[in-house]
């Protein structure tokens, strides 16, 4: 196995998910893809912005995950937003399904990456944030940034001269 094929190579992340949800738990799932979709993912042409996961007939599907068509893929290209089946053990899927139905949580795709030349999807079991929670998180982030800047400057003040 070549050095590039082993290890983990990040392709994309869903930054919006961290803003919109509290991530309670993370899971790893494989994705059932066609060849041209894998080639397109290798080029980084995947978008998780509006993606979510659902359970149908005991199977887990990623909905709204957009994989752009491979430009050299002619007739073999698939619909970019088709539901993609996720590969997990049946008991894990049923446990997640129970948590989603009972606790009112959501399964959100967080990132797509290659692990030993296989495409993997990181899922997050998430609870939605309210608007005031988002504002608090943004205010905390800003204050942390200002504190770091103040420490870095050596306590010299805000930088404004009188």
CA distances from 134 to 39, 52, 123 (A): 36, 20, 21
* CA–CA dist 110, 145 (Å, integer): 24
* Upper half-sphere CA count for residue 25 (Cβ side, 13 Å): 11
| Domain membership flag for residue 159 | no
* CA–CA dist 49, 46 (Å, integer): 9
* CA–CA dist 16, 50 (Å, integer): 9
| Global confidence as pTM | 0.67
b/e map 25-38, b = 16+ CB within 10 Å? eebebebebbebbb
Number of domains present in the structure of the chain = 1
| Domain membership flag for residue 143 | yes
pLDDT in tens, the chain (162 residues): 444 545 777 888 888 778 778 888 888 888 888 777 788 888 888 888 888 888 888 888 888 888 877 777 676 677 777 888 888 898 988 888 888 887 778 888 888 888 888 888 888 888 877 777 778 778 888 888 888 888 888 766 555 554
| Domain membership flag for residue 91 | yes
| Domain membership flag for residue 131 | yes
DSSP class of residue 158? S
What CATH number has the domain bearing residue 55?
2.40.280.10
């Amino acid at each position: 196995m070549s050095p590039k094929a082993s290890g983990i190579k990040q392709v994309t992340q869903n930054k919006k998910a961290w803003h919109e949800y509290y991530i309670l738990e993370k899971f790893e799932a494989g994705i059932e893809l066609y060849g041209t979709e894998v080639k397109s993912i290798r080029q980084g042409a995947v978008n998780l912005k509006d993606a979510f996961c659902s359970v149908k007939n005991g199977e887990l599907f990623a909905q709204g995950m957009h994989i752009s068509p491979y430009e050299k893929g002619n007739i073999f290209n698939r619909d970019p937003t088709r539901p993609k089946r996720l590969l997990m053990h049946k008991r894990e899927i049923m446990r997640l399904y129970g948590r989603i139905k009972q606790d009112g949580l959501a399964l959100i795709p967080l990132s797509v990456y290659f692990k030993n030349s296989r495409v993997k999807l990181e899922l997050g079991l998430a609870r939605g944030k309210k608007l005031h929670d988002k504002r608090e998180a943004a205010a905390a982030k800003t204050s942390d940034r200002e504190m770091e800047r103040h420490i870095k400057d050596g306590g010299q003040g805000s930088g404004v001269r009188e």
